[in-house]
């Protein structure tokens, strides 16, 4: 039966998660050079529109529709056929099925949008959005089915992923790595200084992401009660702890309290706590967050010394943070918070194993498929703008609209 | 003294700054500009209409130097800002009659040290 | 009886709709020249404050108070007398009457603010806000009464307007047309280049509008259940489809994927689905949105070739989009979604007729009254800033505060 | 028993109040010189992270834990021990205890962040955040305990403070005064022109503050029903009335409708209605707001002629506005709105007296302790950046990251 | 060669750009400035106090041209930027001793082509 | 005529503006720049690495004046922009050959009045 309180919460959460995509646009946009700022925000905005359509047409059906051997959802729910206003008790027994579908749709959008951070400043706008729609269909939807779909094989294995550590963050982070490798470096990468053009946008984006993430994680309780409250608390604590630890790292290694560091830390903490948020207590969340700040800091430092131009460090933050979060869930899951799960610290080493398996599967699947899709696009319609266009900047060459004067 | 004005690509600023510093010319002033030159912006045709965006963001670097150093500075600027693509920019040399350091009141070449 | 879930949802929705007015400020502000950017945002902000006061004093009573012959609400509820914390079963049986009043108040604000897009860059700030308060009283409140007030004559006729296609968008769009005609063109209109100064603000505004619109449309269900979920879904789908269609138009005619186009498309889709959101299914919403993007694109192109300086195309987007939405509601209303209504496609041509009548009434009423109010202000206190002031810009001349350095 | 509707509302409100801190960052950031813009926003962001951690570790326990003689909470709830998912009937009988804790935590964050307005453009980042954590522990937590904690002595006295007039605004406003006195003036204060660098950020911040304040005040009902609706309404009305009155003042004295004035007015109205929002009707709220705009305008004008460089007028807006609000609560509290309280106008002069006492206590306690903490920091690690650093600006010297180019 | 610096209204840029281009002077650089001139900003009195805002946003256009073309360019700039109201702006002509195209190393008049 | 270009601290603009106005030189143009000079930015060492941020935000003030007034204007600028700390800025004097008021077409000294 539909519960108004639970539905209100899920609708609000959907709106909050929706907001994360433009927020990501500002976060990413502030980090690129000014000549590519508007293009970067626009990529995120366009992703929201296109994947919304993909989702109601076939995406939701592939991800959550009746399972075909645990591997993929059937197309029975194409165009939302049969996805009505009564609850689907398999997924969320107290909210309309369409509300659940909406909430999940917002996840599909933001996941695809995250990858944009790896390809900014050089991808053709048209190819970029084509890629995102294909990627969502071929990579996101199946993986979501495995982990969250009724009958999905990883779900059946017992993998825990409260709000998307594996499906969202590892997935996007690894896809970013593949994308950076296919797209290759920006001209001047490693030699010229690529200065973030708008730190205030970075922090605006990070703040709105944090705000929206309350919906992302606490909304994943699919009801408005203790579990949602606990997930909300864990989210806030982990984000805070990671902000602090990355800040300390920047102080330690650079001698200055980096604002970009604080913002990145916040995101790293949010990422890491995502799969764990419905399972851990305050101190667990604090440890997960604090550690995420350190790990992701080092991952980003490491990456920046490689030849791989994952421009905004999607792998370092989402890939590494998501992996840590998935594993940490297997360690810190506390049955006192959520009786359905227990981690290593609470006497269940098996959970940790399952988490490692799910993580590995996501790494491999996401990397290979993303690589293949991008190679395909590259060989057919082409991925990158011309050298000339890259030098002039994507705001002018892709949209004929400069960010601001 | 001369004022050397160079319109360059933003990305080249670091290179330019470091190289000038290395040669001992620390003083400089920069600001954002938009420009058109041989690189006449982006233009494209669609359905019979022609579109053009002809102002491209650049950076202006201004360096005031002693007459004796002009050649060096221009040369260094040129090398540091060079990529070889259209739109690398231009350098202009303009006479300067006096310079004053506000803090000390020093004048002329003294003010540039 | 008050239901906590429904009330939570309506309060959240009120907050979301509130946010739409500053969001509109950024959307509009980014589109004007930099010298008028702060003034444009400020007009919206001031509208929020003033119409909030107007609403609790007399506006709500005029719009929703006991009907005087179906034409106007009485002043019985002046200053919220009798508008208490118990539900008013006529309007919303499960939420406090004041919550319903608040939600409706946010609609009154945003509707008036929409018109600002037609008069930016040349209207005196003082006259502008005087106009908005008068307009809200003389144009908005009666029309809201006709369509939504118990006893309102268009409501009695059976006109469908789920969340304000007629009352909000047609009304504001037509008022904008009248306003542009009375105010006349900006100096240099048609010859000088009026370049939008901040594309990132345009997209920030559009994103926050989209976010807020979930409250606007899904909140109009006045309860948190299936209907709200369905309206939320329709909103998101239509916005996405229109973003896509306008983007395609800009690609086709200009050869570039316009960011302003995408943002305008999103708004056009949101406008068009507004009256329909509680009545249509996913595919209906998709068609409505996609068509809205096309229609409004052409309307804006057409307008820009006329002598009418509706500077930010309020008519083209809200007038035309709202009209299409009102009519589309009469076509696509699906009784499977909402059993209270059926459109042409579901065997009820009468509904389409009613929609056309209501639309026509709104066009005529809004145009004539707006024209009259503005002429009156023009003849008395004056509407436009001096030529000198217009050249220098309204940020400095009206507020002595430049937008940013 | 946990009610889903109430919990949904409290979680949403927590998210809204969270957003107020970055919003404050933009409000404050826009008001400072460009060379300190990013630092100002960053101070707020860092405050959110650090006080979130302080709160779950010991802050909540000090403020709301089992009372030690009405003076301070014990540390029994350190690290959220015993703060679980069942409601704590002492505080909020229908929502999980952790949700109440979260909501209160957001108050602790924003209160500390408010003080930043007095110390911007010259405080060392490290000392600033150290100060905020100490201040929250030594000043905020005890005062919150006195007024809101079960057993708190001001609570027992009958002091009314619906959403934090005393605990939040007077407290922060007076702390700001002390801070400005300890830190002394910015170089050039009184002679050089300190021009706000980004008016659009000021209004973005004010708009998001207004938006978030709905959660702040209406969330303080701790349930989603009539009281929340009434508080929401009062919040909106007071903010609007104060926007108007400050705008009129700026017109009257400066001849221009100041945008900063409107934004400051909105905040002043929101501040003043905070303690009253759950007790007053629409007309009460209007009077409170309108008067707040006038009083705070004069307070700010007065302050700016003194030698005290409370840079962004935290005292003038929050100290004076909060004081007025606390007193106005004792005047306008209407038992028809909330039967638990009656003010002077409703025959209960005693309430006014209690309000004055509580206000006085907050002034004295906050001033002395804040002064002492800052002196201590000044003598030990130092408070201010060097003269050189202040001239160059804090974005570069504290973070090595300029706001934007 | 001369550097022609013109302070104009932002709205007139399009006109200026197109007309210079038509005459064959494609190269130019522009940036945002604020200025005070005869148009001394906005001032108003209220309740005995005088208020003034004296810096008005303008656009600076810089064009380096051959000596022979200075008159033409100045004239074209003047006509294109003209509205007839106070605040139309000013044009200054400054000597330039050398010009270099970064990409090719061409010097002097060559660099301007 | 001369173009006096002064790089100053943003905070000193008010002082500069008012004092020049008082002396009768109302016309001026300003814009935001970043610069490096003797004040070579912020630098700090941490764990063996050296970091440096060498471009500090400044304001450029440009005033074109009659030859006779150059000394006065430079002196006034110097005094008004002075704080005594490193980073007070510099003034450069550059020859100007002509000036035109766009609105009236007046030339030379006339255009500056
Ligand atoms: N005649 C000119 N006057 C002023 N600025 C110029 C002129 N010609 C070029 N510039 C500036 O130099 C920049 C680069 O010039 P461009 O001709 O594109 O270089 P290149 O020919 O080496 O590709 C332009 O964007 C413009 O800012
Ligand atoms: N003496 C000057 N030095 C530098 N710039 C000047 C000078 N006089 C005017 N300007 C610039 O020219 C702009 C327009 O000048 P103004 O005197 O207002 O034009 P007009 O007299 O034609 O109305 C000013 O905003 C300023 O930027
Ligand atoms: N040689 C130069 N050429 C161009 N601009 C310069 C030069 N030297 C200094 N500047 C400008 O002057 C500003 C202040 O110079 P600085 O040497 O720091 O002053 P001071 O020596 O009085 O402290 C710099 O930020 C830069 O913008």
Q: Which residues line ligand 1 (CB under 6 A)?
A: B 7, 35-39, 56, 58, 86-90; E 27-29, 62-64, 101-103, 112
Query: Quick one: tokens of C396?
Result: 């400095």
Tell whether pTM > 0.95.
yes
**Of C100, C101, C114, which Cα lies nearest the Cα of C171?**
C114
Across chain A, mean pLDDT equals: 97
Chain E stretch 74-113, residues whose beta carbon is closer than 8 A to a beta carbon of chain C:
83, 85-87
Contacts of C12 (CB under 8 A, 6+ apart): A8, A12, C215, C219, D9, D12
| β partners of residue D123 | D384
| Token pair for C77 | 């509820």
Phi and psi angles of residue D84, each rounded to the nearest 5 degrees, phi first: -110, -155
CA distance linking residue E91 with residue E101, whole number of Å? 25
Given pLDDT bands bounded at 50, 70 and 90, which one contains residue C248? very high
Sketch the domain layout of chain E as residue ranges.
Answer: 2-111
Look up the ipTM and state it: 0.97
For β-strands B56-65 and B49-53, DSSP reports them as unpaired
Give A389: exposed, middle or buried? Use CB within 10 Å, 0-12, 13-18, 19+.
middle
Q: Tell me: the pLDDT tens digits for A267-303? A: 999 999 999 999 999 999 999 999 999 999 999 999 9
Supply the DSSP string of D270-290, one letter for each residue. HHHHTTTTTT--HHHHHHHHH
The CA distance from A173 to A310, in Å, is: 10
C198, D201 contact by CB (below 8 A): no
Question: From start to end of chain B, where are the E strands?
Answer: 2-8, 28-36, 42-46, 49-53, 56-65, 90-95, 98-101
Q: From the CA of C260, how far away is ligand 1's center (Å)? A: 29
Residue A211, classed as helix, strand or coil, is helix
How do the pLDDT tens digits run along chain A, 405 residues long? 999 999 999 999 999 999 999 999 999 999 999 999 999 999 999 999 999 999 999 999 999 999 999 999 999 999 999 999 999 999 999 999 999 999 999 999 999 999 999 999 999 999 999 999 999 999 999 999 999 999 999 999 999 999 999 999 999 999 999 999 999 999 999 888 899 999 999 999 999 999 999 999 999 999 999 999 999 999 999 999 999 999 999 999 999 999 999 999 999 999 999 999 999 999 999 999 999 999 999 999 999 999 999 999 999 999 999 999 999 999 999 999 999 999 999 999 999 999 999 999 999 999 999 999 999 999 999 999 999 999 999 999 999 999 998
Q: What is the rounded CA–CA span in Å between residue B103 and residue B95?
A: 23
- The subunits that touch chain E, with at least 3 C-beta pairs less than 8 Å apart, are B, C, D, F
- Residue C194 forms contact with E (CB below 8 Å): yes
Helix, strand, coil fractions of chain D, as percent rounded to 5: 70, 0, 25
As a whole number of angstroms, the distance between CA C90 and CA C101 comes to 12
Which tens digits make up the pLDDT trace of C56-110? Answer: 999 999 999 999 999 999 999 999 999 999 999 999 999 999 999 999 999 999 9
Percent of chain F predicted with pLDDT > 90: 73
CATH 3.30.70.120 given to domain E2-111: yes
Distance from CA of E101 to the nearest CA of C (A): 30
Q: How large a percentage of chain E has pLDDT more than 70?
A: 98
Question: Chain centroid to CA A309: how far?
Answer: 19
Whether E9 has its CB under 8 Å from any CB of chain F: the answer is no
B40: chain E residues, CB-CB within 8 Å: 26
Q: Whose CA is closest to D405, among C29, B59, A39, B61?
A: B59
DSSP state of D216: H
Q: Which domains are assigned to chain C?
A: 4-399 (1.10.3430.10)
Query: What is D350-371 written as a DSSP string?
Result: HHHHHHHHHHHHHHHHHHHHHH
Question: CA C271, CA D133: separation in Å to the nearest integer?
Answer: 47
User: What is the mean predicted confidence (pLDDT) over C28-48?
Assistant: 98
For residue D199, the CA-to-ligand 2 centroid distance in Å is 26
Contact between chains at C226 and A11 (C-beta distance less than 8 A): no
Mind telling me how many Å the CA of A355 is from chain B's nearest CA?
Answer: 44
Residues of A in contact with D394 (CB under 8 A): none
- Per the CB < 8 Å rule, is F93 touching B96? yes
Choose among D8, D49, D126: nearest Cβ to A9.
D8
Best of F12, F36, F38, F53 to mutate for ligand 3, by most ligand atoms within 8 A of CB? Answer: F36
Kind and range of the H or E run holding F58? strand F56-65
- F27 touches E at CB < 8 Å: yes
Residue of C192, C392, C400 lying closest to E56 (CB–CB): C392
Using the Cβ of D323 and the Cβ atoms of chain F, whether some distance falls under 8 Å is answered with no
Contact A332, A307 (CB under 8 A): no
SS3 call for C47: helix
Chain A nearest C-alpha distance from B100 (Å): 32
The DSSP letter of residue D402 is: -
- Counting as contact any 3 or more CB pairs under 8 A, the partners of D are A, C, E, F
User: Best mutation site among A254, A259, A305, A405 for testing chain F: the one with the most F CBs within 10 Å?
Assistant: A254
Which are the contacts of A236, defined by CB distance < 8 A and separation ≥ 6? A214, D18, D52, D102, D105
Neighbours of chain A (3+ CB pairs under 8 A): B, C, D, F
**CA distances in angstroms from B72 to A11, A312, B23, B25, B77, listed in the order given:** 66, 38, 9, 10, 8
Do the Cβ atoms of D389 and D400 come closer than 8 Å?
Answer: no
Are D325 and D271 contacting, i.e. CB atoms less than 8 angstroms apart?
yes
Name the D residues in 240-269 with CB < 8 Å from any E CB.
252-256
Query: Hey, is B51 helix, strand or coil?
Result: strand
Distance from B78 to chain A by nearest Cα, in Å?
Answer: 16
- For testing the chain F interface, which of B102, B105, B110 should be mutated: the one with the most F CBs within 10 Å? B102
Q: Residue C131 in contact with residue C377, Cβ under 8 Å?
A: yes
User: Distance from A50 to chain C by nearest Cα, in Å?
Assistant: 6
Mean pLDDT of chain C: 97
User: DSSP E strands: which ranges in A201-321?
Assistant: none
In SS3 terms, D128-197 reads as HHHHHHHHHHHHHHHHHHHHHCCCCHHHHHCCCCCCCHHHHHHHHHHHHHHHHHHHCCCCCCCCCCCCCC
Burial track D235-267 (b if 16+ CB lie within 10 A, e otherwise): bbbbbbbbbbbbbbbbbeebbbbbbbbbbbbbb
Question: What count of CB pairs under 8 Å joins C to D?
Answer: 176
User: From CA A53, how far away is CA F49, in angstroms rounded?
Assistant: 50
């Amino acid at each position: 039966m539909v519960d108004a309180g639970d539905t209100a919460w899920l609708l609000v959460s959907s709106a909050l998660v929706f907001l994360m995509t433009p927020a990501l646009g500002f976060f990413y946009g502030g980090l690129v050079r000014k000549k590519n700022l508007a293009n970067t925000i626009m990529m995120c905005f366009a992703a929201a529109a296109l994947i919304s359509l993909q989702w109601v047409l076939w995406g939701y059906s592939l991800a959550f529709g009746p399972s075909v051997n645990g591997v993929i959802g059937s197309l029975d729910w194409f165009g939302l056929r049969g996805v009505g206003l009564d609850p689907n008790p398999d997924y969320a027994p107290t909210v309309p099925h369409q509300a659940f579908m909406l909430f999940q749709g917002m996840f599909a959008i933001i996941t695809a949008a995250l990858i944009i951070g790896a390809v900014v400043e050089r991808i053709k706008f048209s190819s970029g959005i084509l890629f995102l729609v294909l990627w969502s269909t071929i990579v996101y939807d199946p993986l979501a089915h495995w982990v969250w779909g009724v009958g999905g094989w990883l779900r059946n294995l017992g993998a825990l992923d409260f709000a998307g550590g594996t499906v969202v963050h590892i997935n996007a982070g690894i896809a970013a790595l593949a994308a950076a490798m296919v797209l290759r470096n920006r001209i001047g990468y490693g030699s010229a200084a690529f200065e973030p053009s708008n730190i205030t946008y970075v922090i605006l984006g990070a703040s709105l992401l944090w705000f929206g993430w309350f919906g992302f994680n606490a909304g994943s309780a699919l009801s408005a009660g203790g579990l949602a409250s606990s997930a909300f608390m864990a989210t806030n604590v982990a984000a805070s702890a990671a902000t602090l630890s990355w800040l300390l790292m920047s102080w330690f290694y650079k001698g200055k309290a980096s604002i970009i560091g604080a913002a990145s830390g916040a995101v790293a903490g949010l990422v890491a706590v995502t799969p764990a948020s419905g399972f851990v207590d305050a101190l667990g969340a604090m440890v997960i967050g604090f550690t995420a700040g350190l790990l992701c800091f080092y991952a980003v430092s490491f990456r920046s010394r490689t030849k791989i131009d994952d421009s905004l460090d999607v792998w370092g933050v989402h890939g590494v943070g998501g992996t840590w979060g998935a594993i940490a869930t297997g360690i810190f899951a506390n049955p006192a918070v959520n009786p359905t799960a227990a981690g290593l610290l609470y006497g269940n080493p098996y959970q940790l194993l399952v988490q490692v398996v799910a993580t590995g599967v996501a790494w491999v699947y996401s990397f290979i498929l993303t690589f293949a899709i991008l190679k395909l696009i590259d060989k057919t319609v082409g991925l990158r703008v011309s050298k000339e266009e890259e030098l002039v900047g994507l705001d002018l060459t892709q949209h004929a609209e400069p960010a601001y004067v | 003294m001369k004022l050397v004005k160079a319109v360059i690509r933003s990305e080249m600023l670091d290179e330019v700054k470091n190289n000038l510093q290395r040669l001992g010319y620390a003083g400089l002033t920069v600001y954002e500009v938009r420009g058109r030159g041989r690189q006449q912006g982006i233009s494209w045709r669609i359905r019979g209409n022609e579109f053009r965006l002809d102002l491209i963001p650049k950076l202006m670097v201004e360096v005031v130097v002693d007459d004796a150093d002009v050649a060096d500075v221009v040369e260094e600027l040129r090398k540091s800002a060079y990529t070889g693509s259209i739109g690398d920019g231009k350098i202009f040399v303009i006479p300067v009659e006096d310079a004053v350091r506000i803090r000390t009141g020093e004048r002329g070449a003294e003010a540039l040290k």
